[in-house]
Structure 1
Amino acid sequence: MVICYRLIYTIIFISFLFFLFMRKNHRRAKYNQLRLPPGYMGWPYVGETLQLYSHNPNLFFSSRIKRYGEVFKTHILGCPCVMLASPEAARFVLVTHAHLFKPTYPKSKERMIGPWALFFHQGDYHLKLRKIVQSSLSPEPLRAILPDIELIVRSVLQDWDGQVETTFHAMKRLSFDVGILIIFGGQLDDQYKKELKKNYLIVDKGYNSFAINLPRTPYHKAMQARKRLSCILSEIMEQRRKKGESGSDLLGSMMDSKDEDGCKLSDEQIADNVIGVLFAAQDTTASVLTWIIKYLHDYPKVHKLVKAEQMEIYKANECGNKPLTWAQTRSMTITNRVILESLRMASIISFTFREAVADVEYKGYLIPKGWKVMPLFRNIHHNSEFFQDPEEFDPSRFKVAPKPNTFMPFGSGVHACPGNELARIEILVLIYHLVTNYRWEVVGSSNEVEYSPFPVPKQGLPVKLWRISDDNKQ
């Protein structure tokens, strides 16, 4: 009887192994039958990187979509890539099948920001860090620091008054100071702020340089500055621990966070995420602010409508003597449409990087394991099927909500930007103070675009700005 049972168990076990083997072979045969998407891989290693980053991405993407369709392959930043240019594809990668595609960045950039930054991860660690960041960027804490954001905006505009300045650089100062506010609250010593800014600017300059880690190269200087940033952050955290007060800001939330086993984040993990938040909060927001200033200048009718809306709030605030309220930022309907249309037109984030963690089939094509996958937000935002006359700047189109998955300025799914509410408040406060108190003129041509890597008007949009008297504010 015992022998009989053993024989039965052996047969079942062998049958199970045979089933697994056949299933694996069937899957392998299935994927072997699939073909790679059409496309051109360019030169060895370099691929088509130079074409993408030195030209208008609209032309780069549209020419390939016209030739190959909405699914095509290429080679960018040393990696084979599949590019996807439809709302369905973006949802497939970022939402419904997100488990098959992990977030990824070039290793050189990952080393510079820090491997523990939340946007390099998925799973439990990512969810934990995202929850911490989102809690610090939710409406309640933002409402509390709204007066501080106003002070930063006022200071930037006052320094600009009467001068010609590069808009993008001014907006980078603004977004950096707001980022420092979010991370450190009002607790940061001026000397620490100075050192953080000095070293961050070196890191920022080397971030998009060639990853050649030799002395005197921008990349090497950036990596050295990155080490100094970690040291500075460690000092700040140690001071807080000695005082016995972590703080209620983002840094404090990270320092106090514990997992299920009671373990806290290491200083290295916190430093990587602080620097990651600074990166995420600066260039993209500064780029959007630059484009909005350009669009308000280039479209006088839109400017007039926005100013009329903001002047109502300005008068209610006793001609600017009272601070903005949270409720007032929620009432800026026309201004909010201008922001949405600026985000669509500029499409600062042209695409996002993901990596296939297994062989994936999409619409009969094979996306091999390890290949980068890039949903193309820019092309979706400029598709006439979803946005009528997509090259026209028309904020009124957002009187009606766009179709699902056709408007993704902050990404989509579990890796969507957690700072979108902060960016919106920052933009609204700037527009309020800008249109109610200042006039500005663009110096030189503003119709050409540079990519570094985010799109900005040529030379960062040089602008002369001056304050207007109360008698001329109507």
Structure 2
Amino acid sequence: MSALMCIGALIVVIITHWIYRWRNPRCKGKLPPGSMGWPLLGESLQFFAPNSTSDIPPFVKERMKRYGPIFRTSLVGRSVIVSTDPELNYFIFQQEGQMFQSWYPDTFTEIFGKQNVGSLHGFMYKYLKNMVLNLFGPESLKKMLPEVEEAANRNLRRWSNQTTVEMKESTATMIFDLTAKKLISYDSENSSENLRESFVAFIQGLISFPLDIPGTAYHNCLQGRKKAMKMLKEKLEERRENPRKNQTDFFDFVLEELKRKDTILTEGIALDLMFVLLFASFETTSLALTLAMKFLSDHPLVLEKLTEEHEAIIKNRENPTSGLTWQEYKSMTFTFQFIHETVRLANIVPGIFRKSLRDINFKGYTIPAGWAVMVCPPAVHLNPTRYKDPLEFNPWRWQGVEINGATRNFMAFGGGMRFCVGTDFTKVQMAVFLHCLMTKYKWIPIKGGDILRTPGLQFPNGFHIQISEKHEKGQQTAS
């Protein structure tokens, strides 16, 4: 009996010591304040808890009040320093590759692929970034502009013949079809396989608790990835067997790279890159466009100003029916203010992850080597000391402000050397769609529009609108 009591006492001591060590990690300096939560689980459940606020996520806001702008936590088994401090955020982005490197939880790596562009560093990352700029850089976008306009016009025309349109799903399909055509010459109308379907399952579990059990969102997400990757691999093999004379899409470019003797590109990296590009190109942009439509429906003065700008472009043309030019696109001053304000409030990306490469001292705190660091864009974008009435939708706040990259107070597209290479493509998609909508159509909201964050942005009930063609010049476009 006494032996059993001794063993029991020993187990209690071991568990107590383990919990103590978990909650009080070793550090050569002074760790930021915070709680590590329960062993292994950490504070993951609180982090992933759904909320419907447009404010700083409750998980972050509560801890900012309790601990200050820099605090520690544990998410999905990983020790994390959370930064809502603009100076630390800027320092992290500027020290990419020196003191910090891109890092995402193992679950993200499993979802996006072990060789995805976000997990690669140094020369390999720069090499892939240049490959992507070949497709989505400014010179390519100038040539792509007519295709983007044609896609917007075609879809708006079709939607105007429907009773209602759900904006999130409809704009996602429109952008996915255009991007898939540029990447792999995929034509949804003439394809026997529905590539988009695989991404729908993928998206629903992307930012969910990582429980890989049949029936969970995370499991469905992994299955969606597996199906999409299988289709991409089959298409690559098919293209290898039937090569084309001229390079017309990104697959052609990839195949040429793979043939080179001195190439550093592998088939695995190429397929992971294709997968990430397909996902990133449509999901975030469709969320931003849906929120933009909701903002326009709720803010008549913004709608009026935006309509004036786009109708003026038509009026100033020699031929009113000619297509949009690059000069006209670049002249959309208020439109860009509107886009910046939309993505500031959208906060589609709730956290940007990095990993410390060595012990780093900042403002009296130590960030230990190997720890993850999460930069929190919502805390930056909704900071009342930087933005007056931060929750108010006000595109005029960007008047005269030049934004060509990330700043200490604006990081909707990332920051540092990993500033999103698809930023210009996103802005083109949004601006051109708004141009076609403002000049030719009017709409009324029907239902939905509620947001949910888990912690990523979602529209659980969609945003349903009714679109119809304008019949009178200058007619109001929404009510």
Q: TM-score range by the shorter chain?
A: 0.7 to 0.9
1:269 Cα deviation (Å)? 1.6
**1:51 paired to 2:46:** yes
SS at match of 2:324: coil
Which residue of structure 2 lines up, in the alignment, with residue 417 of structure 1?
A: 420
CA separation of 1:247/1:445 partners in 2, compared to 1, >3 Å: closer, same or farther? closer
| Alignment partners' CA distance in 2, 1:386 and 1:456 | 26
Which residue of structure 2 lines up, in the alignment, with residue 37 of structure 1?
A: 32
Which residue of structure 1 lines up, in the alignment, with residue 134 of structure 2?
A: 135
CA separation of 1:97/1:219 partners in 2, compared to 1, >3 Å: closer, same or farther? closer
Choose between structure 1 and 2: higher helix proportion: 1
CA separation of 1:274/1:34 partners in 2, compared to 1, >3 Å: closer, same or farther? same
**1:276 paired to 2:279:** no
- Structure 1 stretches lacking a partner, 5+ long: 1-30
SS at match of 2:281: helix
Task: Calculate the TM-score normalised by the size of structure 2.
Answer: 0.84
Q: How many residues align?
A: 442
How do 1:165-314 and structure 2 match up within 5 A?
A: 165-184=165-184, 186=185, 190-192=189-191, 194-215=193-214, 217-241=216-240, 242-245=242-245, 247-257=247-257, 262-263=262-263, 265-314=265-314
Give the residue type in structure 1 aligned to 2:78.
Answer: C
How do 1:445-464 and structure 2 match up within 5 A?
A: 446=449, 448-457=450-459, 459-464=461-466
| Alignment partners' CA distance in 2, 1:381 and 1:401 | 15
| Alignment partners' CA distance in 1, 2:86 and 2:192 | 42
2:411 to 386, 400, 408: 408
Which residue of structure 1 lines up, in the alignment, with residue 117 of structure 2?
A: 118
| Alignment partners' CA distance in 2, 1:224 and 1:58 | 29
Which residue of structure 1 lines up, in the alignment, with residue 347 of structure 2?
A: 347
CA separation of 1:246/1:273 partners in 2, compared to 1, >3 Å: closer, same or farther? farther
**1:398 paired to 2:398:** yes
CA separation of 1:192/1:93 partners in 2, compared to 1, >3 Å: closer, same or farther? farther
CA separation of 1:347/1:204 partners in 2, compared to 1, >3 Å: closer, same or farther? closer
| Alignment partners' CA distance in 1, 2:448 and 2:239 | 49
Task: Calculate the TM-score normalised by the size of structure 1.
Answer: 0.85
SS at match of 1:409: coil
User: Could you report, residue by residue, the CA deviation over 1:268-291 in whole angstroms, capped at 9, with x for unpaired residues?
Assistant: 221110001112212211111111
SS at match of 1:385: coil
User: Could you report, residue by residue, the CA deviation over 1:308-336 in whole angstroms, capped at 9, with x for unpaired residues?
Assistant: 11011233458863221111111111111
Give the residue type in structure 2 aligned to 1:276.
Answer: V
Percent identical residues: 28
CA separation of 1:97/1:361 partners in 2, compared to 1, >3 Å: closer, same or farther? farther
User: Could you report, residue by residue, the CA deviation over 1:69-93 in whole angstroms, capped at 9, with x for unpaired residues?
Assistant: 1111122233221111122111111
| Alignment partners' CA distance in 1, 2:272 and 2:420 | 17
Which residue of structure 2 lines up, in the alignment, with residue 427 of structure 1?
A: 430
Give the residue type in structure 2 aligned to 1:40.
Answer: S
| Alignment partners' CA distance in 2, 1:441 and 1:314 | 24
How do 1:83-102 and structure 2 match up within 5 A?
A: 83-96=82-95, 98-102=97-101
CA separation of 1:320/1:168 partners in 2, compared to 1, >3 Å: closer, same or farther? farther
Which residue of structure 2 lines up, in the alignment, with residue 335 of structure 1?
A: 335
SS at match of 1:459: coil
| Alignment partners' CA distance in 2, 1:374 and 1:193 | 42
Give the residue type in structure 1 aligned to 2:256.
Answer: D
Equivalent residues of 1:437, 1:473 under 8 A apart? no
* More displaced 10-residue stretch of structure 1: 40-49 or 71-80: 40-49
SS at match of 2:352: coil
| Alignment partners' CA distance in 1, 2:298 and 2:362 | 42
SS at match of 1:369: coil
- Structure 2 stretches lacking a partner, 5+ long: 1-25
1:181 Cα deviation (Å)? 3.2
- RMSD, aligned CA: 2.7
Bigger Cα Rg: 1
Which residue of structure 1 lines up, in the alignment, with residue 11 of structure 2?
A: none
Which residue of structure 1 lines up, in the alignment, with residue 374 of structure 2?
A: 374
